[in-house]
Amino acid sequence: MITDPQEPTMVGWPTIINTEAVVAAFLFSVVVGLFFGLSPANKASKLNPIEALHYE
């Protein structure tokens, strides 16, 4: 946890940055991004290109 009495405050409260929360949020966003990026790509790679373009 990073705290510094010289840091600016927000609404009278000290600004506290929890390192574990930042890392957890970053890892969560990576997992969500990979899942929702790779899942459709994997599904699309299994399609026949002719049949996939037929419906456009």
Where do the structural domains in the chain lie, given as residue ranges?
Answer: 9-54
Q: Are 16 and 4 in contact (CB under 8 A)?
A: no
When comparing pLDDT for 36 and 52, which is higher? 36
pLDDT tens-digit series, residues 1-39: 555 556 666 677 777 889 999 999 999 999 999 999 999
At 28 the pLDDT is 98
To 5 degrees, how large is the angle CA 12–CA 13–CA 15?
A: 125
CB burial string 6-43: b at 16+ within 10 A, e below: eeeeeeeeeeeeeeeeeeeeeeeeeeeeeeeeeeeeee
DSSP label of 47: S
